[in-house]
Structure 1
Amino acid sequence: MVYLDFWGSQWKKDTNGIQAYMAAMFSGLGTAHDTWSITTSQYPDANNSAPAFNGAVLGGSWSDSGRAAPAAASQRAIAAEANAAAAHFGVSGDPDAQIVVLSPHGTSPDGWPNSGFCAWHDYTGSVSYTNMPYQLDAPKGSRCPNSALGGKLDAFSIVEGHEYAESITDPQPESGWAAANGQEIGDLCESNFQKVVLPTGTFAMQPLWSNRDNACVITPRAAG
C-alpha cells in the first residue's frame, strides 16, 4: 500500500491540485483497470512472492502541517519524516508499505533540483520511502519531465510512478531486482511517456522494463 505524506505547512497554500491528483492516481492504480502496474508482478521477492493487486493501492493521505518543511532537508531528515508518517499510518515495519514524502513548493530536499535526480526511493530500516520533490519547481531544460504530454502535473505522475514501481520491485535498494548494469525497472525506460487511463482519471506515465517482453512496455504481454 502507498501512503502519501504532504510534508509541511506550506502545502496549505498550494493551489495546483497536487494532493487530489496524487490521491486520484493511487486510487486508480491496483484496480482491475490498471494494466500498467502488473509489469511488476514478474519480479518476485526472495520468498518467491510476486506483487499482486486486489484493489486501489492508496492506503492513506496525511498533511503533516504542524510546522514548515525544511528549506533544504537532508536525506536523514527525509527518512525521519518517512518514519513519522509510517507511525502516523500505523505501518512501521510493514514490508508492503510505501511512504511517499512530498516536499512543498520552494524547498530543495537532498539538494534537488541540482543533484541530478527527479526523485529517489530508499529504506529507513523500517519502511520503504520516496523523496518526492515539488516537480513544478524543476527548471526548464531539466531532465525532470514537466508537462511531458501537455498536462501541468505530468511530472508528478511520471516521476512518482517510476519510484512506485521501483519500490515494489526493490523496496530495500540493491536487495531487489536490478538489471546487470544496476538500473531498476523504471531507470531502464525513462522515455516514451504515454497516457494511462484509470477509473480515477488519465495520467502521464513512463513504460516499465518487462523481462517477459524484453522491452519497455506500458502493458506487458500476458504470461504463457
Structure 2
Amino acid sequence: MGMSPTSRRARVRALTGLSALALAATGFAAAPAAQADQPGSEFAGQSHPYRHGAVPTKEAAAHANAASAAASRTSNLRYGGAVDGIGVTTGAPKVYVVIWGSQWGTQGTDANGYTTMSGDPSGEAVRAQQLYKGLGTNSELWSGVLTQYCEGVAKGATTCGSTAAHVGYPTGGALAGVWVDESAAAPGQATGNQIAAEAVKAAGHFGNTTAASNRNAQYVVLSPTGTHPDGFNTSTGSFCAWHDWNGDTTLSGGAAPSPYGDIAFSNDPYVTDMGSSCGQNYVNSGSAGTLDGVTIVYGHEYAETVTDQNPAGGWTDSTGAENGDKCAWKGTGGTGGAQNVAFSTGSFAMQSTWSNVNSSCQISHAIVP
C-alpha cells in the first residue's frame, strides 16, 4: 500500500483478499428489498489511530456517504505484508467470549448450555455465543467469503496463489470458550489499553499462554449495558464496535503487554444500547429484529479479525477499509445486502463482506481452497 506498518496502523481497516473460485450462494434466507451488490461510496475508510474495522453507526455512515458520494467503493483489498509475522487467521478460528464486569449480574446456564447473565436485558451474551457456535455449521458459506484471503504473498498483492495459507474455515463452530470476569466492575469508559489488557487476562484464564495457542484465537470483550467502552454511545464514539491487537502502540492508553504472544481482540459494546443506530431491526421487524445489530456488528468484527488479525498486516483497501467496512449498512437482500443466515444454532441477521473475486459485497462464497 506504500505505507509503513506504523502509518498503516493509524487507519481504520477493511479487508478482503482472493482466490479464483466461483461464487456459491446457497443456504441463506433472503431478506426483502434486494439491492445492487455495489455500495455507493467509501464511508468506513476514514483515518483513526486504532479503531480498526470500526462499524460506524448508521448515521455516521450516512453522513460520510453524503460527503463522499463520488468515491466508488469498488477497489479490491490488498495484502499488508503481516505484522509480527501475522497476516490472517490461518487455522480454524477460535473465538473466546469474555463477559466483562460485575454489572452483568448473576451467572446461570440455559437449557442449551449457554451462559446467561441476570444483568443482560437484551440477551446479548447468549446471542453472541449462539453466533460463534454456529459459524462453520449447517454448510454455511458466509464464512466461505473469508477463506479467499491468505498470507505469505507479496505485500500489495490482491490475489492468492495456490500455495498460500488461507483463512481457515470454522468447521463445527468457532466458539472455544466463555469466561465471566466479575472480579471487578468494567470501567464506565474503558480505554483501548484496558480492553486489550482484559483480552490478555482472558488468554491466561483460558490457558492460552503461548504465542502458538493464540495464533488463531480472538478474544471478544463484551461490555455491560450502560457502559461506554472507548467512548461508545457518546458524542466522541460514533461507532458500534472495532477490533485490534494488544501490541498496537496507538491504542488509547497505549499498548497492553502480553506474556502470551500477540492477542487479537475486539471491543464489542452493548450494541442494543444504541438501538437502530447500530442495527436493531435492520433485517427483521418487531421483536425478531431486536438483536439484528448484535449479530451484524459482532459478525463484522469477526470477519475482519480473521482477515486482518494484526492490523494492518492483513487485507485492506487503498483507504484502509477492511472487508466488513466496505459492505456495512448497504441495504438488505440480494447477494450483497444484509440478510438472515441459517446456522445450526439458529437464523442470524448478518451483513455481507467484500470479495476480491467478485469485486463486490457477497453474502456467500465457495470455501477456499
TM-score range, shorter chain: over 0.9
**Contact residue 145 and residue 367 of structure 2 kept, 8 A:** no
The corresponding residue for 1:178 is: 316
Superposed CA offset, 1:76-129 (max 9, x none): 111111111111112243120000000000000001123221110000132100
- The aligned residue for residue 79 of structure 1 is 196
Q: 1:52 aligns with which of 158, 168, 178?
A: 168
For the 8 Å contact 1:193–1:206, the answer to whether it is kept is yes
State which structure, 1 or 2, has the greater radius of gyration over its C-alpha atoms: 2
User: Is the contact made by 1:170 and 1:177 (CA closer than 8 Å) also made in structure 2?
Assistant: yes
| Aligned equivalent of 2:269, options 120, 133, 148 | 133
Match of 1:97 among 217, 227, 236: 217
* 8 Å contact kept, 1:212–1:220: no
1:151-199 CA distance string (max 9 Å, x none): 1111110001000000000011111001122110100001231101111
Aligned partners of 1:213 and 1:220 also within 8 Å: no
CA offsets per residue over residues 13-53 of structure 1, 9 Å max, x none? Answer: 22322222111111110225221011111111237311222
Verify the 8 A CA contact 1:100 1:132 in the aligned structure 2.
yes
Q: Which residue in 2 is equivalent to 1:204?
A: 349
User: CA distance change for structure 1 residues 45 and 68 in 2, over 3 Å: closer, same or farther?
Assistant: same
Q: Alpha carbons of 1:120 and 1:223: their partners in 2 closer, same or farther (altered >3 Å)?
A: closer
Identify unmatched segments of 5+ residues in structure 2: 1-93, 106-118, 154-163, 248-261, 331-336
Q: Secondary structure at the match of 1:119?
A: strand
Question: Does residue 193 of structure 1 match 2:331?
Answer: no
User: Alignment partner for residue 244 of structure 2, among 122, 128, 133?
Assistant: 122
Tell me how far apart the structure 2 counterparts of residues 139 and 60 of structure 1 sit (CA, whole Å). Answer: 28
More helix by share: 1
1:14 to 120, 123, 126: 120
- In the alignment, is the contact (CA less than 8 A) between 1:28 and 1:198 conserved in 2? yes
- Report sequence identity in percent: 43
For the 8 Å contact 2:138–2:343, the answer to whether it is kept is no
Given the two structures, how large is their TM-score scaled by the length of structure 1?
Answer: 0.93
Partner AA of 1:19 in structure 2: A
> Against the structure 1 CA distance between its residues 131 and 222, is the aligned structure 2 distance closer, same or farther, given a 3 Å change threshold?
closer
What's the TM-score, normalizing by structure 2? 0.58
The alpha-carbon distance between structure 1 residues 6 and 42, as it changes in their structure 2 partners (threshold 3 A), is same
- The DSSP-based 3-state class of the residue aligned with 1:166 is helix
Q: Secondary structure at the match of 2:315?
A: coil
**8 Å CA contact retained: 1:91, 1:97:** no
Conserved in 1, the CA contact under 8 Å of 2:144 and 2:367?
A: no
Structure 1 residue 67 displacement after superposition: 1.6
User: Comparing 30-39 with 119-128, which one deviates more in the overlay?
Assistant: 30-39
Where in structure 1 are there 5+ consecutive unaligned residues? none
Compare relative contact order (CA 8 Å, sep 6+) and give the higher one, 1 or 2: 2
Distance 2:182 2:367 in 1: 44
- State the partner residue of 1:31: 137
Given that 1:189 and 1:207 are in contact with CA atoms closer than 8 Å, whether structure 2 keeps it comes out as yes
C-alpha separation in 2, matches of 1:28 and 1:107: 28
